[in-house]
Amino acid sequence: MVMNMIPETHRVWLSRGLSNVTDVARTTDRAGRFEILVSHTEPDFPGFSFADRHWVEPEGLYGREDMFADYALLRCQEMDVRLLWPGKGAPQVMARRSAFEAAGIRTLLAGDADTCKLLDDKAAIYRDLEGTGLPVPEWMEFSTLAAFDDAWSAMRPCVPSLCIKPTVSIFALGFRRIVEDDDEWGRFVSNDQYRIGLNEFRRILCGVQKPRAFILMRTLEGEERSVDCIAHNGRLVAAVSRVKRGRTQHIETDHPAIAIARALVERYALNGVINVQTKDHEGRTYILEVNPRMSGGMIYSCQTGLHLPYWAMMLALGNASPEDVPQPSNGVVAPIQGVVRMG
């Protein structure tokens, strides 16, 4: 007699700060596998519309060390959460991971606290990769006008185009390509957000009261790729390389960027859904950054037959092995406009 097997339902909590909570809640094929819980500090957060259960997080959770970890541990026990996938509170959960494990609560984390802190700092990871053979562009760190001038004098004679970016930043905030002209007005009226004049930047830097660490690096002129990865305990299980051409995202499953992502996953023992950014220059692919979190464009990669959050959760819960995870297919995907009715 054939028995109908009803899959066990696992309660998964996605907390504030994951860039794609709405997409995960909206697109995850639960099919009896998952009950998706979503929390956020904003009462009208769009992800609530697609969650099985949701709630507003109390104020002040992220302002003091251990506060979110204490709250999350208690909440997981009260609600019988099997898997916690934290966002903004991930560093606190990493530091207290043993307490969650002791309570029978699994956590979906990219790595340990020290590793994730390293990956969030572009200068730190570039230093760490020196001598490994993994390709990083020429770069120097600075935080003051004097240090910038020294870096510029050292690099500009042998590098035709240079750019700047904060060592710790997201969404290309603070990135500028340095141009050697004084057309500040032209850049202003054309809303040019990604170029800045050399003299203009030096003038700004001279007036900074609280210096911030930046890097000066070679401007890479080729295509930029975003590699969305499922990693499992330091093993690259599957990866999708995306390159934007016009309005479409071209999906690649065989590119040097994926080999680079594999090496980085192994080196830093990464886990879960992570993202590697690369850019080509004169026939070579260089590392831009490694993000121990989901990328903003991960939803495109999920159109390849590989739903990254679903399989990351299955692996974290022990309900699948790396061999069960399907491999993505090549193709072209494009965004469409849409809205969601709240309430």
Read off the pLDDT of each residue in 207-232 and give the average, rounded to a whole number: 94
Does residue 2 form part of some domain? no
CB atoms within 10 A of CB 274: 29
Percent of the chain with pLDDT over 90: 65
Reading the block at residue 191, the tokens are 């809303």
Highest mean pLDDT among 6-20, 219-233, 286-300: 219-233
Do 150 and 62 have their domain in common?
no
Residues 326, 226, single domain; the answer is: yes
Residue 44 contacts residue 342 (beta carbons within 8 Å):
yes
- Write the CATH number for 267: 3.30.470.20
Q: How many Å apart are CA 221 and CA 288, to the nearest integer? A: 13
Which of 218, 237, 271 is the endpoint of a domain? 218
Type of residue numbered 198: L
User: How many domains are there within the chain?
Assistant: 3
Kindly state whether residues 93 and 153 are assigned to the same domain.
Answer: no
pLDDT on residue 7: 59
Last residue of a domain, one of 218, 238, 268: 218
Nearest of 221, 220, 251, 219 to residue 238 by alpha carbon: 251
| Residue 126 is assigned to a structural domain of this protein | no
Domain shared by 170 and 83, yes or no: no
Distance between CA 179 and CA 202 in Å, rounded? 12
In this structure, are 20 and 99 located in the same domain?
yes
Percentages (nearest 5) of helix, strand, coil residues in the chain: 30, 25, 40
- Domain that includes residue 88, residue range: 10-108
Reading the block at residue 231, the tokens are: 């990693």
Summary mean pLDDT of the chain: 90
Same-domain pairing of 310 and 233? yes
List pLDDT tens digits, range 113-123. Answer: 899 999 999 99
Answer yes or no: are the C-beta atoms of 138 and 161 closer than 8 Å. no
The pLDDT value recorded for residue 164 is: 96
Split at pLDDT 50, 70, 90, the class of 1 is very low
Q: Burial, 299: exposed, middle or buried (Cβ in 10 Å; 0-12, 13-18, 19+)?
A: buried
For the sheet with 224-232, list strands across it.
Answer: 284-291, 272-281, 224-232, 235-245, 248-252, 331-333
Query: For residue 265, is it within any domain?
Result: yes
* 20 pLDDT more than 80: no
C-alpha distances out from residue 224 to 56, 85, 153, 216, Å? 37, 28, 27, 18
CATH label of the domain that carries residue 24: 3.40.50.20
Same-domain status, 200 and 279: no
Same structural domain for residues 264 and 316?
yes
Q: Which residue has the higher pLDDT, 23 or 149?
A: 149
Tell me, what CATH number does 213's domain have? 3.30.1490
Q: How confident is the model at residue 30 (pLDDT cuts 50, 70, 90)?
A: low
The structure tokens listed for 284 are 């070579």
C-alpha dihedral (47, 89, 212, 201), degrees to nearest 10: -10
DSSP 326: P
Strands (E), the chain: 10-14, 34-40, 53-56, 83-85, 106-107, 139-142, 162-166, 176-179, 195-197, 214-218, 224-232, 235-245, 248-252, 272-281, 284-291, 331-333
- Same domain? For 162 and 226 the reply is no
* Lowest-confidence pick of 14-23, 161-170, 237-246: 14-23
Same domain? For 78 and 148 the reply is no
Final residue before a domain boundary, out of 218, 244, 262: 218
37 & 89 share domain = yes
59 part of a folded domain: yes
Residues 173 and 153 in one domain: yes
**For the chain, how many helices (H) and strands (E)?**
12, 16
Provide mean pLDDT across the span 2-23. 73
Predicted TM-score (pTM) of this structure: 0.89
